[in-house]
Amino acid sequence: MSAPEVVVIGGGPAGSATAIRLAEAGVAVMLLERSDGPHDKVCGEFVGPGAAAHLARLGLPPTGAAIRTLRLTCGDRAAVSPLPFAAHAMSRREMDAGLLELAAARGAEVRRGVAVRDLDRDSLAVALADGNVIRPRAVVLATGKHDLRGFRRAVPGRADHVGLKMRVRRDSDADAGVIELLLFRGGYAGYLPLDAATATLCVAISARRYREFGATWPALLAELGRCAPPWRARLAAEPLWPQPLAVAGQPYGFVAPPEAGAVYRVGDQAAVVPSFSGEGIGIALATARMAADAYLNGDGAGVYGRRVGAKFARVATLGTVSRIGETGAAQALGVWVARFAPGLLAAVARATRLVEAEG
């Protein structure tokens, strides 16, 4: 197997976007994606203005529903506010497939169904599950929520959250253009209309609270319905998958420290923002651009890592805010205040934008 100049490990938005930018600049880049075909992932599928700008520059502008309003619920109380920016919904299956196609079209060698077993930090030897070894000049680590052996992410405190996602059927247009967040002690849920017929229902919950709720999807929905009666219709929506997608142990608030060498971390491998901010896709695409620019300019991974740390320092703060915000008292107070201060939700939405709209 001939050695490319750069190997990208992972074919999500961060990996594909990095491969696109490098290939456009004439770099011999190989992208390795372990799945052999399109698939869904645990992701809220909210595309903020920064993410939308990056997607448009790459050649894949968002095609899903326009999102204009935020509704925040805790118990039987709710607060509603217009979003202070343009946003969209977009299926991750569609986004990932589209970006991989663009990467191949721009000249990247895209290899699907290829799993990476190990990566040596010093020699950059990429060991594949089939026994082959690739030795590029640089590696882009874009494995998303899953850590590669030897590259585990860690944050102070516990990384004990469980994330679950289900596609559900919309039975009316009453939720059109509205992203809904439900706060409950130990976590939060999100409901996002994806297109005319379907919506995404996601839950981020502490592992302990999930066990208390029964540790099954039906039991969780039943408990959430008891916690928040206004959400019962959302929680009773017809599921379109046999079971939810799930991921555990996400280190919310993680920002990768700078490291020497030529391994560039992008997306969730660079920074893990709490999902309530809706900036995960934006960070994935922004770090892809930063990593590609750094490599093309001859900057090492250490220089790139310091730039990521400076740009996304607020991710760590949002991780702390998320942990505090999962207490019942803080949630109830926040929604109560938001009901009487209409601009508060819009201000919070603006404050959680970490990626510039101009891309």
- pLDDT score of 2: 65
| Residue 9: per-residue pLDDT | 97
Using DSSP bridges, classify how beta strands 77-89 and 66-74 pair: parallel, antiparallel or unpaired. Answer: antiparallel
Q: What angle do CA 308, 313, 317 make, to 5 degrees?
A: 150
Give the angle subtended at the CA of 106 by the CAs of 25 and 124, to the nearest 5°. 60
Secondary structure element (H or E) that encloses residue 118, with its range: strand 116-119
Please name the helix (run of DSSP H) or strand (run of DSSP E) that holds residue 350, with its range, or none.
helix 343-351
| Distance from chain centroid for Cα 192 | 14
CA distance 6 to 159: 31
Sequence-distant (6+) residues with CB within 8 A of 250 are: 145, 159, 161, 163, 204, 272
Would the CA dihedral through 29, 101, 145, 51 be positive or negative?
Answer: positive
Degrees to nearest 5, angle at CA 63 with 58 and 64: 135
State the average pLDDT for the chain.
90
Ranges under pLDDT 50 in the chain: 1, 359
Q: State the residue for tokens 């929604």.
A: 335
Specify the domain boundaries for CATH 3.50.50.60 within the chain. Answer: 6-64+89-155+251-320
Contacts 24+ apart (CB under 8 A), 338-341: 338/72, 338/79, 338/81, 339/77, 339/78, 339/79
Q: Are the C-beta atoms of 201 and 234 separated by less than 8 Å? A: yes
Q: CATH homologous superfamily of domain 6-64+89-155+251-320?
A: FAD/NAD(P)-binding domain (3.50.50.60)
Q: How many residues does the chain have?
A: 359
CATH architecture of the domain with range 161-250+324-351: 2-Layer Sandwich (3.30)
Alpha-carbon distance 87 to 177, whole Å? Answer: 9
Specify the domain boundaries for CATH 3.30.9.100 within the chain. 161-250+324-351
pLDDT of 340 reads: 75
